[in-house]
């Protein structure tokens, strides 16, 4: 599935979602890749049931035109938000991601756009990528996961090693200059209460809002 909706923790192709319910406002999700530079211990990509259903698993990465074609069939009067999410890390496909964001803002300038990311796009591309999102992204939601670099690495098993944690905060600080809302998130079931408190403190120090979200893929 490339463009999909979520209801009750399940994923639906947009056509099926709107055919079954043509009244409710909902978010539209865009799935660009299975690839990720992390290997989180809780990642849904590892869950056998998800692999069997292959609901979000992409046998082939979609082209920009593939995504545009699916977006063109969406009844946007029923859409409140467009979210880049999925099984992998969207910023790995930075050029395609920003091209689609530009397209969304061109055809639907009033619909909010959100990027769910692990915040490691700058390490992936070796530069400050925040300017790429100027005027096309409304919300950047970054998975914080932990209160220390060591614990972060243990959970995420990032290919970038111990530097990943600090780089994620640098990315957040850069994004605050170009994106209206930057939030960091932690997952409730995998984060102990004392770590949640420590995460709140760290986010306050960096001037970033912390959101505690239910267990799901980032």
Summarize as ranges the residues that interact with ligand SF4 (CB under 6 A). 36, 38-40, 43, 45, 88-89, 118, 143, 156, 217-218
CB of 34 to ligand SF4, least distance (A): 8
DSSP assignment letter at 2: -
3 or 74, CB closer to ligand SF4?
A: 3
- CA dist., res. 13 & res. 67, Å (int): 13
CB of 36 to ligand SF4, least distance (A): 3
16 or 39, CB closer to ligand SF4?
A: 39
CB of 54 to ligand SF4, least distance (A): 16
Residue 109 CB neighbours (<10 A): 9
- In order of 21, 27, 44, 153, the CA distances from 76 in angstroms are 14, 10, 29, 39
- CA dist., res. 26 & res. 5, Å (int): 8
- CA dist., res. 80 & res. 107, Å (int): 14
CB of 165 to ligand SF4, least distance (A): 13
CB of 50 to ligand SF4, least distance (A): 11
70 or 124, CB closer to ligand SF4?
A: 124
Residue 15 CB neighbours (<10 A): 12
88 or 121, CB closer to ligand SF4?
A: 88
In the block, residue with structure tokens 């082209």: 63
79 or 116, CB closer to ligand SF4?
A: 116
Q: Are 139 and 179 in contact (CB under 8 A)?
A: yes
């Amino acid at each position: 599935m490339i463009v999909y909706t979520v209801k009750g923790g399940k994923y639906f192709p947009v056509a099926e979602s709107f055919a079954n319910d043509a009244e409710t406002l909902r978010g539209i999700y865009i799935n660009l890749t299975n690839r990720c530079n992390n290997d989180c211990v809780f990642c849904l990509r590892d869950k056998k049931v998800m692999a069997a259903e292959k609901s979000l698993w992409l046998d082939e990465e979609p082209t920009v035109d593939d995504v545009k074609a699916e977006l063109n069939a969406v009844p946007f009067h029923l859409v409140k938000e467009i979210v880049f999410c999925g099984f992998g890390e969207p910023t790995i496909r930075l050029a395609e991601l920003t091209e689609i964001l530009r397209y969304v803002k061109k055809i639907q300038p009033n619909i909010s756009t959100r990027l769910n990311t692990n915040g490691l796009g700058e390490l992936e591309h070796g530069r400050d990528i925040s300017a790429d999102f100027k005027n096309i992204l409304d919300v950047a939601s970054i998975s914080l996961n932990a209160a220390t670099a060591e614990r972060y690495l243990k959970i995420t098993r990032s290919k970038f090693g111990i530097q990943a944690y600090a780089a994620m905060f640098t990315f957040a600080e850069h994004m605050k200059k170009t994106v209206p809302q930057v939030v960091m998130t932690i997952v409730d079931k995998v984060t102990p209460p004392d770590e949640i408190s420590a995460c709140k403190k760290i986010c306050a120090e960096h001037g970033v809002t912390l959101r505690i979200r239910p267990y799901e893929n980032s």
